[in-house]
């Protein structure tokens, strides 16, 4: 079982889109997948029909010693633990939540091949606790002035977690997301990232297409609804990136890559 956190302290970078798409992609490959929505905003949860949510295991329950309920099955091979407002208490409890979270994820791991955390857009314990129990971390970024600011602090925090509390954590890299080829600012920032931090970049770029963000409204994967040439192109760009991430988590050969921090 592999655990991955999609984590970045910035909002609006498509973090939830990537987390949900990765979970669906892995399920499509035949893996049993658990998606944990650890963001109180519940955006990942909103990608699925969740009638009966109140009777399921909720994300905040993972912070207790004796959680009740079961994950919701939302698609073939894919279960969900919905977010809830109880997650806000995690910030007050601090690192005390890490122990219960680790134990509960370990217990759940017996039933899944992959666990995907969608984390909140902050540097608080809601993002850090999942990193402390994960095998992998991926950070989507938008190549603009706001999207890449503070990246050094993020990388340093991941490095600290790996050294101090979770030596198994592998940083897969920064995934350039929502890229606009005709935006001079995006082009310049991507050029700078490639010049100064190429070792941190995932070797795929996901462009900005409405077809990708609309999956939250259709409650279906982008590749299931792509009809127009542009939508199919967007879907192909996304699945190429997801396939690379998947190959790093489940390598067929000794070709696994991670960034040395």
Position 170 in a domain: yes
Q: Strands 33-37 and 114-118: what pairing?
A: parallel
CA 151/CA 157 separation, integer angstroms: 10
What is residue 253's predicted lDDT score, i.e. its pLDDT? 52
pLDDT of res. 260: 60
pLDDT for 224: 82
Buried b (16+ CB within 10 A) or exposed e, 217-245: eeeebbbeebeeeebeebbebbbebbebb
Per the domain annotation, does 257 fall within a domain? Answer: no
Kindly give the confidence (pLDDT) of every residue in the chain, 261 residues in length, as a single tens digit, with 9 standing for 90 and above. Answer: 899 999 999 888 899 999 999 999 999 999 999 999 999 999 999 998 767 666 789 999 999 988 888 999 999 999 999 999 999 988 888 889 999 999 999 999 889 999 999 999 998 999 999 999 999 999 999 998 777 778 888 999 999 999 999 999 999 999 999 999 899 999 999 998 898 878 899 999 998 876 666 777 778 887 887 778 877 887 888 999 999 999 999 987 545 566 666
Please state the φ and ψ torsions of residue 49, each to the nearest 5 degrees. -75, 120
* List of E strands, 164-214: 170-179, 201-207
Q: Is residue 159 part of a domain?
A: yes
Is residue 258, in this structure, part of any structural domain at all?
A: no
pLDDT given for residue 70 in this prediction: 92
Q: Could you tell me the sign of the dihedral formed by the alpha carbons of 190, 159, 64, 116, in that order?
A: positive
CATH number at residue 106: 3.40.50.300
Structural domain for 172, as ranges: 2-249
Q: By the 8 A CB rule, do 97 and 87 touch?
A: no
pLDDT at site 186: 92
Q: Say if 259 falls within a structural domain.
A: no
Q: Does 79 map to a domain?
A: yes
The domain tally of the chain equals 1
Q: Positive or negative CA dihedral for 31, 37, 42, 44?
A: negative
Q: Is residue 256 part of a domain?
A: no
């Amino acid at each position: 079982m592999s655990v991955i956190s999609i984590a970045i302290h910035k909002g609006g970078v498509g973090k939830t889109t990537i987390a949900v798409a990765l979970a669906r992609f892995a399920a499509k490959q035949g893996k049993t997948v658990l998606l944990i929505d650890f963001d109180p905003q519940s955006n990942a949860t909103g990608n699925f029909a969740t009638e009966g949510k109140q009777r399921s295991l909720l994300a905040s329950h993972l912070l207790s010693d004796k959680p009740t309920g079961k994950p919701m099955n939302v698609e073939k091979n894919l279960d969900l633990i919905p977010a809830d407002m109880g997650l806000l208490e995690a910030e007050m409890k601090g690192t005390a939540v890490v122990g219960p979270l680790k134990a509960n994820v370990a217990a759940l791991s017996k039933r899944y091949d992959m666990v995907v955390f969608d984390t909140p857009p902050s540097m608080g314990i809601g993002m850090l606790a999942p990193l402390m129990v994960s095998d992998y971390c991926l950070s989507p970024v938008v190549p603009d002035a706001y999207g890449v600011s503070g990246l050094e602090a993020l990388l340093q925090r991941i490095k600290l977690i790996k050294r101090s509390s979770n030596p198994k954590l592998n940083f897969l890299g920064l995934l350039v997301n929502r890229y606009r080829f005709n935006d001079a600012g995006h082009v310049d920032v991507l050029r700078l990232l490639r010049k100064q931090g190429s070792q941190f970049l995932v070797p795929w770029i996901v462009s900005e297409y409405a077809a990708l963000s609309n999956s939250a409204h259709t409650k279906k994967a982008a590749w299931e609804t792509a009809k127009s040439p542009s939508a199919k192109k967007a879907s192909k760009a996304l699945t190429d990136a997801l396939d690379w991430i998947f190959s790093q988590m489940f390598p067929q050969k000794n070709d696994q890559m991670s960034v040395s921090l």
